[in-house]
């Protein structure tokens, strides 16, 4: 089409304005939207003079645009690519656009455009600005009409929703039985807000439980019930309800595809069920009250083909809020009612247990006491009650039987004729053997009689006594099972539950304590004299009962183990002595027929100390009595003596071998031409002989000191002269590069002591300093004036002594390096002799040391 002349153009504009005005009047008179769209398309075709006009709307995924209403072309056929591009551009830009042969105007809406009105001319056609204004005017009329209709629809749905919520609110407050309430709510929702509905509730432990399903179609109802049975809600799954619980917000499925539906299922069968349910659109809304998630509602449109929108989601969320409040209120009421009932039951239990405790503490005759407690328990706890006690020989005795109907003599007589089987897999023997309670909510005479030797006979004898429910609980005190209590529900028809079992266990605990106290009192009386006698015995005496619990721990046992009797009595031996279970089998145990056995010496680790105990035991009906004595010191001395013998043997063998070798060389070889070798061999014999003499002298002196036969020869001496002689004599034994220095004032006065023994002490200390010092080290002997004494100090730069060994260096046979890994010889008697000699001179010897830097030995001798 060519350019119009001005007059024709004016007429065309006036006609376009007229068409827009006519369309507006039609919109104002309430013309339905579908009819108005047809009028708009006709007006656009006439006003633009084209044959192709269409109203394009976006597909659900927003990727394509479809001409749902059209003039001049088939709405289902593809449009020219230029049309599709201009429509998409206009929609996303929310504006009117024009091309050479195409014009498009957006039909505005909130929150996004509703569509695009477009015209296309297959013939050459140049659209002008007036054409764009005209088409935009028509699009605006459509937008206003659509907005009006949507507002009317929203108002209508809002009014319907408010009415629905009012009706739902009435249902939700009708009863405090929230499961019945939710079932009624489900029937109300379907089919007004869903074709089917699922209601899931979250329990206190986090598990989900399906409480209601409803469907408009009977076949869908059956499928929902099968779904609930086979695939209950699973926390953490991809099921809509589980997702709503996790997100604590509504989950919207606008439209299901096979792929999106499969993502919500757990396996193929689940998917098949959901496919048959055929959800087209769904919402899962959490039930939240007071900040707690209580469950979820899942709404689904199916056969109706409807889709959920924002208005539906808002309505579903409000319905969920009201349902959650109803659930929360119902649970609060249930909780308060249950708490009140528990409080009343607890008060009754407290009163009962208080009375039972008073009765149990009223006498030390536990047989009489247990009979009284059995009478108290009937009928408060059960219709009849039986107390069983474990005898010393391991058998089980019935000590009290009480029946609420006064037939206890009959029951007692029937039971007395049937012995219990100690290894029975149920009943009192099982409870006593295992220490575990037993509850049978549903019981019969046959099950009650299963723990005796002739169960059929006892069951027949008890046929007249109704048996409905039973409990059997152990009597346990201080870790020992003393017996059991059997409670039987009969005539009352009561069914025992866990709370009844807890009450029975509490009563059994108090009864067991009373029995144990009574037995302890009796045992205390019977063994009082024996205990006082055992307190004076020098050997440790311990009684360990058959359960491994310590019952006796005398004073000697306390002294040996450093464990107070109060801390160990009543405890398991394995807890007091960690090695007990491993070493107990090695302890010889006598019997009544042969009580005397040879003790075994066994090591025990107690509080980080190693104790060697000579121990044996004697078995009795109550357990095993062990007697032991501490031989740790004896064993240590034996080990030291063994080490000493080995050391002395080594010390003697070395010089003897040297003397023997030198003597053989002198005897067998002609050394007339070698005077130097002859003198060297003679010197070696002399030196090694002196070493042998020194070793023997130390051994003999240690023997004399230990036997008390040693005597000093005191006299007035000059301490500096004695020290100087010791230093000069030691210089000949210095290692290469070694230094030995004497540091002393010009005079210290005289000292009254044995000069030879003082010289021996200094010789030993200086020799040790030299032996344990490296080559080139300095050794210092220092004399000082003390407070009424003279102090001799010998310091070295040797290996030093560990702090843990300082207290032991003066022990007999002790060597810092017993294996001689440093090549230092010695008998381990030198420092022992020094200490004994200094003690006899009324002096004091001590040592200080820094590991790796050396040691200082100090001798202080008094002047008088």
d(CA 206, CA 251) in angstroms, rounded, equals: 20
CATH of the domain at 260: 3.30.450.40
Same domain for 300 and 324, yes or no, is yes
Contact partners, residue 369, CB within 8 Å, separation at least 6 = 359, 360, 362, 363, 511, 514, 515, 518
Domain boundary among 630, 655, 673: 630
Percent of the chain past pLDDT 70, that is, above it, reads: 81
Tell whether 544 is covered by a domain: yes
Of the listed ranges 74-78, 236-240, 268-272, the least confidently predicted one is 74-78
d(CA 203, CA 294) in angstroms, rounded, equals: 7
Same domain for 261 and 330, yes or no, is yes
Same domain for 293 and 185, yes or no, is yes
Q: Give kind and range of the element (H or E) at residue 396.
A: strand 396-403
Same domain for 453 and 487, yes or no, is yes
pLDDT at 223: 93
Domain boundary among 481, 502, 523: 502
When the pLDDT of each residue in the chain is averaged and rounded to a whole number, the result is 80
pLDDT at 480: 86
Phi, psi of 50 (to 5 degrees): -125, 165
pLDDT at 528: 62
Tell whether 362 is covered by a domain: no
- Greater confidence (122 vs 32) lies with 32
Same domain for 139 and 248, yes or no, is no
**Highest mean pLDDT of the ranges 80-84, 331-335, 343-347:** 331-335
Tell whether 535 is covered by a domain: no
d(CA 813, CA 768) in angstroms, rounded, equals: 15
pLDDT per residue as tens digits for the range 787-826: 889 999 999 998 898 888 888 888 877 766 544 444 455 6
- Greater confidence (767 vs 684) lies with 767
- pLDDT band per the 50, 70, 90 thresholds, residue 280: very high
* 3-class state of residue 786 by DSSP: coil
- What separation in angstroms does the CA of 250 have from each of 182, 274, 281, 549, 854? 19, 20, 13, 63, 82
pLDDT per residue as tens digits for the range 480-514: 888 888 888 888 888 888 888 888 888 888 888 88
Cβ distance 470 to 440 under 8 Å?
yes
The residue range of the domain holding 148 is: 6-153
d(CA 187, CA 196) in angstroms, rounded, equals: 9
Of the listed ranges 66-80, 161-175, 272-286, 323-337, the least confidently predicted one is 66-80
Same domain for 255 and 304, yes or no, is yes
pLDDT per residue as tens digits for the range 193-224: 899 999 999 888 888 889 899 999 999 999 99
Tell whether 625 is covered by a domain: yes
pLDDT at 606 over 90: no
Tell whether 161 is covered by a domain: no
- What separation in angstroms does the CA of 708 have from each of 87, 705, 711, 712? 126, 5, 8, 12
Tokens standing for residue 772? 């344990």
pLDDT per residue as tens digits for the range 746-776: 888 899 999 888 988 998 899 888 888 888 8
Strand order of the β-sheet with 292-301 is 208-215, 196-202, 292-301, 281-289, 251-253
- pLDDT band per the 50, 70, 90 thresholds, residue 1: very low
pLDDT at 753: 92
- pLDDT band per the 50, 70, 90 thresholds, residue 660: low
Contact partners, residue 573, CB within 8 Å, separation at least 6 = 542, 544, 548, 549, 550, 580, 584
Q: Give kind and range of the element (H or E) at residue 165.
A: helix 129-172
CA geometry: angle at 605 spanning 602 and 591, to 5°?
Answer: 40
Count: domains in the chain: 6
d(CA 820, CA 803) in angstroms, rounded, equals: 20
Mean pLDDT (whole number) for 735-748: 87
- pLDDT band per the 50, 70, 90 thresholds, residue 76: very low
pLDDT at 819: 47
Same domain for 625 and 640, yes or no, is no
Same domain for 83 and 100, yes or no, is yes
- What separation in angstroms does the CA of 301 have from each of 87, 308, 615? 33, 8, 86
Same domain for 181 and 53, yes or no, is no
Cβ distance 828 to 647 under 8 Å?
yes
pLDDT at 408: 66
CATH of the domain at 830: 3.30.565.10
Burial 248-274 (b: 16+ CB within 10 A, else e): eebbbbeebeeeebeebbeeeebbebb
Of the listed ranges 365-369, 547-551, 699-703, 823-827, the least confidently predicted one is 823-827
pLDDT per residue as tens digits for the range 541-588: 888 888 889 888 888 878 788 888 888 888 888 888 877 877 777 788
Of the listed ranges 2-11, 400-409, 471-480, 694-703, the least confidently predicted one is 694-703
pLDDT at 820: 44
> For the residues of 328-388, what is the DSSP string, one character each?
HHHHHHHHHHHHHHHHHHHHHHHHHHHHHHHHHTS-S-HHHHHHHHHHHHHHHT-SEEEEE
Mean pLDDT (whole number) for 683-695: 67
Mean pLDDT (whole number) for 120-149: 80
CATH of the domain at 602: 3.30.450.20
Tokens standing for residue 525? 């009386």
pLDDT per residue as tens digits for the range 520-540: 777 766 666 655 666 666 788
pLDDT per residue as tens digits for the range 608-622: 777 788 788 888 778
pLDDT at 821: 41
User: Nearest Cα to 612, choosing from 596, 587, 586, 636?
Assistant: 636
pLDDT at 854: 92
**Highest mean pLDDT of the ranges 24-28, 300-304, 321-325, 412-416:** 300-304
- pLDDT band per the 50, 70, 90 thresholds, residue 466: confident
CATH of the domain at 691: 1.10.287.130
Q: Give kind and range of the element (H or E) at residue 240.
A: helix 240-247
pLDDT at 270: 93
Percent of the chain past pLDDT 90, that is, above it, reads: 14
Mean pLDDT (whole number) for 377-395: 82
Tell whether 286 is covered by a domain: yes
pLDDT at 154: 66
- pLDDT band per the 50, 70, 90 thresholds, residue 461: low
Tell whether 510 is covered by a domain: no
Contact partners, residue 180, CB within 8 Å, separation at least 6 = none
Tell whether 363 is covered by a domain: no
pLDDT at 180: 81
- Greater confidence (853 vs 341) lies with 853
Same domain for 736 and 767, yes or no, is yes
Tokens standing for residue 801? 């002594």
Same domain for 698 and 735, yes or no, is no
Domain boundary among 630, 652, 679: 630
Question: pTM for the whole thing?
Answer: 0.39
- pLDDT band per the 50, 70, 90 thresholds, residue 862: very high
Same domain for 186 and 70, yes or no, is no
Tokens standing for residue 427? 């009943």
């Amino acid at each position: 089409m060519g350019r119009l002349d001005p007059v024709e153009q004016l007429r065309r504009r006036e006609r376009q304005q007229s068409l827009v005005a006519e369309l507006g009047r039609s919109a104002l008179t309430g013309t339905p939207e579908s009819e108005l769209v047809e009028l708009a398309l006709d007006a656009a075709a006439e006003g633009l003079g084209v044959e192709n006009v269409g109203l394009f709307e976006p597909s659900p995924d927003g990727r394509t645009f479809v001409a749902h209403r059209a003039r001049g072309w088939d709405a289902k056929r593809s449009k020219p690519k230029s049309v599709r591009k201009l429509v998409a551009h206009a929609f996303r830009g929310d504006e009117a656009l024009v091309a050479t042969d195409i014009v498009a105007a957006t039909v505005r809406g909130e929150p996004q455009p509703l569509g695009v009105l477009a015209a296309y001319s297959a013939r050459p056609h140049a659209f002008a600005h007036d054409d764009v204004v005209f088409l935009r005017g028509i699009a605006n009329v459509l937008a206003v009409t659509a907005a009006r209709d949507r507002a009317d629809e929203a108002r209508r749905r809002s009014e319907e929703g408010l009415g629905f919520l009012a009706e739902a609110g009435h249902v939700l407050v009708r009863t405090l039985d929230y499961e019945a309430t939710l079932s009624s709510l489900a029937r109300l929702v379907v089919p007004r807000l869903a074709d089917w509905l699922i209601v899931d509730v979250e329990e206190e432990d986090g598990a989900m439980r399906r409480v209601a399903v409803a469907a408009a179609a009977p076949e869908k109802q059956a499928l929902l019930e099968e779904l609930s049975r086979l695939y209950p809600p699973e926390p953490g799954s991809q099921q809509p309800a589980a997702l709503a619980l996790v997100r604590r917000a509504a989950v919207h499925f606008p439209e299901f595809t096979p792929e999106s539906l499969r993502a919500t299922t757990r396996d193929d069968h689940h998917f098949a069920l959901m496919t048959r349910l055929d959800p087209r659109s769904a919402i899962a809304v959490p039930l939240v009250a007071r900040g707690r998630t209580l469950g979820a509602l899942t709404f689904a449109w199916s056969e109706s083909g409807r889709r959920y929108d924002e208005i539906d989601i808002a309505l579903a969320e409000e319905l969920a809020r009201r349902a959650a409040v109803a659930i929360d209120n119902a649970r609060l009421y249930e909780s308060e009612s249950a708490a009140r009932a528990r409080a009343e039951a607890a008060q009754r239990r407290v009163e009962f247990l208080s009375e039972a405790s008073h009765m149990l503490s009223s006498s030390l005759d536990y047989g009489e006491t247990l009979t009284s407690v059995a009478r108290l328990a009937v009928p408060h706890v059960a219709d009849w009650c039986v107390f069983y006690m474990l005898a010393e020989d391991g058998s089980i005795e019935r000590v009290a039987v009480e029946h609420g109907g006064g037939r206890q003599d009959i029951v007692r007589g029937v039971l007395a004729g049937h012995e219990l089987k100690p290894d029975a897999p149920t009943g009192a023997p099982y409870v006593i053997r295992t220490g575990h309670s037993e509850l049978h909510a549903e019981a019969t005479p046959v099950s009650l009689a299963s723990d005796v030797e002739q169960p059929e006979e006892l069951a027949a004898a008890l046929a007249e006594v109704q048996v409905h429910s039973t409990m059997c609980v152990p009597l346990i005190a201080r870790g020992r099972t003393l017996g059991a209590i059997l409670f039987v529900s009969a005539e009352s028809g009561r069914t025992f539950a866990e709370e009844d079992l807890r009450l029975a266990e509490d009563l059994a605990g108090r009864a067991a304590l009373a029995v144990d106290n009574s037995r302890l009192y009796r045992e205390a009386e019977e063994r009082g004299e024996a205990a006082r006698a055992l307190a004076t015995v020098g050997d440790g005496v311990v009684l360990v009962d058959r359960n491994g619990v310590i019952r006796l721990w005398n004073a000697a046992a306390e002294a040996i183990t450093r464990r107070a009797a109060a801390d160990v009595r009543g405890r398991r031996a394995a807890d007091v002595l960690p090695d007990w279970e491993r070493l107990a089998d090695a302890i010889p145990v006598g019997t009544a027929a042969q009580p005397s056995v040879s003790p075994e010496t066994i090591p025990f680790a107690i509080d980080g100390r190693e104790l060697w105990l000579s121990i044996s035991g004697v078995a009795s009906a109550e357990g095993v009595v062990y007697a032991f004595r501490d031989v740790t010191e004896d064993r240590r001395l034996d080990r030291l003596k063994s080490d000493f013998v080995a050391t002395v043997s080594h010390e003697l063998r070395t010089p003897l071998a040297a003397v023997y070798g030198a003597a053989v060389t002198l005897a067998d070889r002609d050394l007339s031409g070698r005077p130097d070798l002859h003198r060297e061999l003679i010197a070696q014999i002399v030196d090694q002989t002196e070493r042998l003499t020194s070793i023997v002298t130390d051994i003999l002196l240690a023997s004399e000191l230990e036997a008390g036969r040693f005597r000093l020869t005191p006299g007035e001496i000059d301490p500096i002269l004695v020290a100087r002689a010791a230093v000069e004599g030691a210089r000949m034994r210095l290692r290469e590069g070694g230094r030995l220095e004497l540091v002393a004032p010009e005079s210290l006065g005289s000292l009254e002591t044995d000069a030879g023994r003082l010289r021996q002490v200094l010789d030993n200390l200086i020799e040790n300093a030299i032996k344990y010092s490296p080559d080139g080290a300095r050794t210092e002997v220092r004399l000082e004036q003390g407070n009424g004494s003279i102090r001799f100090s010998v310091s070295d730069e040797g290996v030093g002594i560990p702090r843990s060994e300082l207290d032991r260096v003066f022990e007999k046979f002790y060597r810092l390096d017993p294996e001689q890994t440093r090549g230092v010889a010695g008998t381990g008697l030198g420092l022992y002799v020094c200490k004994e000699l200094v003690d006899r001179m009324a002096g004091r010897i001590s040592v200080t040391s820094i590991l790796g830097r050396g040691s200082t030995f100090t001798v202080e001798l008094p002047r008088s």
